[in-house]
């Protein structure tokens, strides 16, 4: 057990792990191209001019190309109709050069996100948001898992090895992170509690966990005194906090890093922890999709 009086938590370097994963994807992409006679293809659809989404889409495109895959970007104006967006999705579903489709969220208010996600071919749904992939995850069938929770699981297994028998608490019940994270940990034979902002005695619930995944969207909510000594803490939160007068805004997680790192055995920082994993896992899902769609045998566990 960690001696919390003298030792600080080990830092889980998501940035370095993500780089290693992208390198593996690049090797798999080159092998796929040699066998299929074409590059794997990832299409990203962006609606509107949201600056953060634009930056994110550019980053995805650059990394896709760097890994040896084709990147297809489709941009629609903010006032495009839902029917226009659905037409783009249907065209990408039918395009044999496209193995993965990602519609950048959030969408403009006049579009129904669930309707759009449901229109994506589940076998090209590399975000893992389609209800069929959600069902596959819940029932243990092969499918695509949302990128952030899968990235968290990779970091946990890299740090801890087998997770079997460990107590895990996931704070946050979103469809994108909390719920799939709980299902992934259950599949690893953890004893899982899915907690949230309304959980009674939340600090006590968290305090018994060997693994804590914080994905609740509240800056520095989880304090060091909530953490079991030696526990592994995965902080999914990315919150911009305004600094005092004359100071720059800073990014913080859902965990108070200073106090938690004095107690935990290992912890992800913000930034540099979970964040870099999301795009890396997206690329991983894309090359897995390419092999499945082309009928080429591939060991998903190799990535």
Q: What residues act catalytically?
A: 60, 104, 127
SS3 75: strand
CA 88, CA 45: separation in Å to the nearest integer? 8
CA 214, CA 212: separation in Å to the nearest integer? 6
Q: What are phi and psi of 104, to 5 degrees?
A: -65, 125
Is there a contact between 155 and 274 (Cβ–Cβ < 8 Å)?
yes
Collect all residues with Cβ–Cβ distance below 8 Å to 293 and sequence separation of at least 6: 99, 123, 124
User: What letter would DSSP give residue 167?
Assistant: E
Is there a contact between 189 and 212 (Cβ–Cβ < 8 Å)?
no
Is there a contact between 145 and 180 (Cβ–Cβ < 8 Å)?
yes
- For 152, the token pair is 């968290």
Torsion of Cα atoms, 77 then 81 then 87 then 92, to 10°: 40
Is there a contact between 63 and 29 (Cβ–Cβ < 8 Å)?
no
CA 284, CA 303: separation in Å to the nearest integer? 7
Is there a contact between 6 and 36 (Cβ–Cβ < 8 Å)?
no
Q: What are phi and psi of 101, to 5 degrees?
A: -125, 130
């Amino acid at each position: 057990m960690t001696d919390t009086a003298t030792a600080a938590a080990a830092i889980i370097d998501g940035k370095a792990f993500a780089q290693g994963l992208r390198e593996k994807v690049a090797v798999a992409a080159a092998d796929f191209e040699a066998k299929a006679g074409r590059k794997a293809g990832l299409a990203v659809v962006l609606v509107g001019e949201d600056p953060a989404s634009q930056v994110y889409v550019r980053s995805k495109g650059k990394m896709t190309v760097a890994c040896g895959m084709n990147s297809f970007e489709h941009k629609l104006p903010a006032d495009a109709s839902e029917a226009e967006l659905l037409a783009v999705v249907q065209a990408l579903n039918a395009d044999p050069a496209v193995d993965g489709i990602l519609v950048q969220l959030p969408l403009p208010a006049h579009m129904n996100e669930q309707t759009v996600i449901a229109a994506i071919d589940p076998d090209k749904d590399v975000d893992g948001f389609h209800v069929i992939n959600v069902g596959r995850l819940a029932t243990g069938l092969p499918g695509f898992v949302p990128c952030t929770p899968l990235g968290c699981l990779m970091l946990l297994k890299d740090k801890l090895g087998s997770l079997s028998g460990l107590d895990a608490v996931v704070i946050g019940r979103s469809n994108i992170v909390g719920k799939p994270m709980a299902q992934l940990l259950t599949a690893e034979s953890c004893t899982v509690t899915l907690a949230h902002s309304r959980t009674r005695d939340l600090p006590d619930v968290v305090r018994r966990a060997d693994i804590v995944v914080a994905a609740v969207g509240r800056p520095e909510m989880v304090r060091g005194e909530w953490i079991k000594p030696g526990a592994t803490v995965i902080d999914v939160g990315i919150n911009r906090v305004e600094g005092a007068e004359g100071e720059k805004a800073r990014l913080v997680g859902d965990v108070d890093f200073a106090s938690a790192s004095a107690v935990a055995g290992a912890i992800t920082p913000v930034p540099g922890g979970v964040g870099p994993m999301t795009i890396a896992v997206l690329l991983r899902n894309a090359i897995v999709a390419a092999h499945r769609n082309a009928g080429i045998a591939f060991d998903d566990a190799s990535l």
